[in-house]
């Protein structure tokens, strides 16, 4: 080989080697940019939590991932990356919830996590998420104890007991209610709401004529409902879960208990409630509720998309909170990327525009959305209190 040819070959070899080194240097970055965003969660697909989880929460996760991926992926600070959901059935078991999130955050090291269903499961896993530094925007947790933990990575979308029950008592006072009876499920949710009610009725002129707890596995509430009927209260209040809400309503009808104001909790705002009780049977029943399609144009668009994608309506309470949380998370990732500390700071330090209106947090608590009361009217769960949030005026409940 002539000297000139040797020099040319060396230059070609060096260029080629440099190209290989360059490709090796940039390939991981390119691969990371093209890799899906892995988002982990557990959800009750079996067991007693299933009705709530599959109404208020998981359908929203699926719809969100579907919409984001149809748009090219989640906007990660200007780069679209597909969402890969990493999920499993927690079988309504708190131990399974904790063990699975430990794996998702500890060894799988997913990019983000979404919360499980229910106050108890969130209470169990919230300290773990905080330890690993994963932002948690919980849409179905209602507990002052969670607020009091002061976990910087944990955010509660739902209105908490004091504001929710304060709204109920304000409504009852406005209607001249003098007596009420309360039953409550014997767990974190029931106990905290009952405690909030005891506090809210102080000085209100409302007297509690009956106060009964019951186990979550109860199959018969008719004895306590008969005893309450004999005391003829103006209002009935139940801090109950979907199966208990349905059970109490059906058995109230069976024993002929017809108070002027009938309020139950989780499940009242579910479409299932009118299917079981019928539209006429549900008329005038009140419960925890915060939105419907009249609340905002965004709420109407969300409702329509949910029905089109999931082939069923969202409930009028926590589903709205679930979607609002996903809106906040989407905007956070768009603004700051997948840096979880930066996401936490974005969530904590901004006022967020959502389908429910403005949401902002004081510590873990959503202080942007007031407590609300909803009521079934002609097949729609209307917001009837406070007046500034109302989508319809309160009506008198007809007899069952």
Task: Read off the tokens for 328.
Answer: 């906040």
CA neighbor of 393 nearest in space, from 372, 377, 378 = 377
pLDDT band with cut points at 50, 70 and 90 for residue 19: very low
Query: What pLDDT score does 31 carry?
Result: 58
Query: What pLDDT score does 7 carry?
Result: 44
Domain map (residue ranges) of the chain? 37-160+295-366, 162-277
The mean pLDDT value for 106-127 works out to 96
- Give tens-digit pLDDT for 151-194: 999 999 999 999 999 999 999 999 999 999 999 999 888 999 99
Cα–Cα distance for residue pair 191/287, rounded to 1 Å: 17
Cα–Cα distance for residue pair 291/378, rounded to 1 Å: 16
Task: Read off the tokens for 212.
Answer: 């009964």
Residue 375, pLDDT above cutoff 50: yes
Q: What percentage of the chain reaches a pLDDT higher than 70?
A: 92
Query: What pLDDT score does 289 carry?
Result: 83
Cα–Cα distance for residue pair 139/318, rounded to 1 Å: 6
Among left, alpha and beta (phi > 0; psi -120 to 50; other), residue 235 is beta
Class of domain 162-277: alpha beta
Query: What pLDDT score does 106 carry?
Result: 97
Query: What pLDDT score does 373 carry?
Result: 97
30 to 26, 272, 352: CA distances (angstroms): 6, 47, 32
CA neighbor of 137 nearest in space, from 371, 327, 349 = 327
Q: Rounded to 5 degrees, what angle do the CA atoms 326, 37, 77 make?
A: 75
CA neighbor of 40 nearest in space, from 144, 112, 91 = 112
- Give tens-digit pLDDT for 274-324: 999 999 999 999 999 889 999 999 999 999 999 999 999 999 999 999 999
- Give tens-digit pLDDT for 255-272: 999 999 999 999 999 999
Cα–Cα distance for residue pair 222/212, rounded to 1 Å: 13
Q: What percentage of the chain reaches a pLDDT higher than 90?
A: 86
Tell me how long the chain is.
400
The helix/strand/coil state of 22 is: helix
Task: Read off the tokens for 370.
Answer: 């007031």
Q: Strand ranges (DSSP E) for 90-162? A: 112-113, 136-138, 154-156
Q: Distance from first CA to last CA of the chain, Å, rounded?
A: 102
Class of domain 37-160+295-366: alpha beta
Q: Would you say the CATH fold of 162-277 matches that of 37-160+295-366?
A: yes
Cα–Cα distance for residue pair 101/143, rounded to 1 Å: 20
């Amino acid at each position: 080989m002539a000297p000139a040819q040797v020099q040319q070959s060396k230059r070609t070899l060096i260029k080629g080697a440099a190209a290989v080194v360059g490709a090796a240097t940039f390939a991981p970055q390119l691969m990371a940019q093209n890799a899906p965003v892995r988002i982990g969660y557990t959800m009750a697909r079996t067991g007693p939590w299933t009705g709530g989880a599959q109404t208020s929460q998981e359908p929203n996760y699926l719809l969100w991932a579907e919409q984001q991926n149809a748009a090219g992926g989640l906007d990660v600070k200007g780069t679209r990356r597909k969402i890969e959901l990493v999920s499993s059935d927690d079988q309504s078991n708190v131990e399974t919830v904790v063990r699975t999130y430990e794996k998702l955050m500890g060894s799988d090291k997913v990019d983000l996590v979404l919360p499980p269903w229910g106050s108890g499961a969130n209470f169990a896993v919230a300290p773990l998420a905080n330890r690993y530094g994963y932002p948690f925007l919980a849409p179905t947790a209602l507990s002052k104890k969670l607020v009091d933990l002061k976990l910087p990575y944990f955010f509660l979308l739902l209105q908490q007991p004091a504001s929710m029950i304060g709204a109920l008592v304000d409504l009852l006072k406005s209607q001249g209610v003098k007596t009420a009876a309360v039953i409550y499920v014997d767990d974190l949710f029931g106990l905290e709401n009952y405690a909030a009610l005891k506090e809210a009725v102080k000085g209100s002129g409302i007297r509690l004529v009956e106060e009964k707890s019951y186990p979550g596995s109860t199959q018969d509430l008719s004895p306590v409902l008969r005893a309450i009927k004999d005391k003829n209260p103006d209002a009935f209040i139940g801090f109950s879960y979907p199966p208990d809400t349905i059970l109490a309503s059906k058995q109230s009808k069976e024993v002929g208990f017809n108070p002027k104001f009938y309020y139950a909790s989780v499940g009242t705002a579910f479409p299932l409630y009118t299917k079981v009780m019928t539209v006429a049977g549900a008329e005038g029943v009140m419960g925890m509720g915060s939105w419907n399609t009249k609340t905002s144009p965004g709420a109407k668009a969300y409702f329509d998309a949910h029905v089109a994608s999931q082939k069923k309506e969202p409930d009028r309470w926590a589903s709205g909170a679930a979607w609002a949380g996903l809106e906040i998370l989407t905007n956070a990732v768009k603004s700051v990327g997948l840096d979880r500390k930066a996401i936490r700071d974005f969530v904590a330090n901004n006022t967020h525009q959502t389908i429910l209106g403005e949401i902002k947090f004081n510590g873990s608590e959503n202080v942007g959305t007031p407590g609300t009361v909803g009521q079934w009217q002609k097949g729609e769960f209307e917001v009837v209190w406070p007046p500034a949030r109302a989508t319809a005026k309160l009506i008198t409940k007809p007899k069952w």
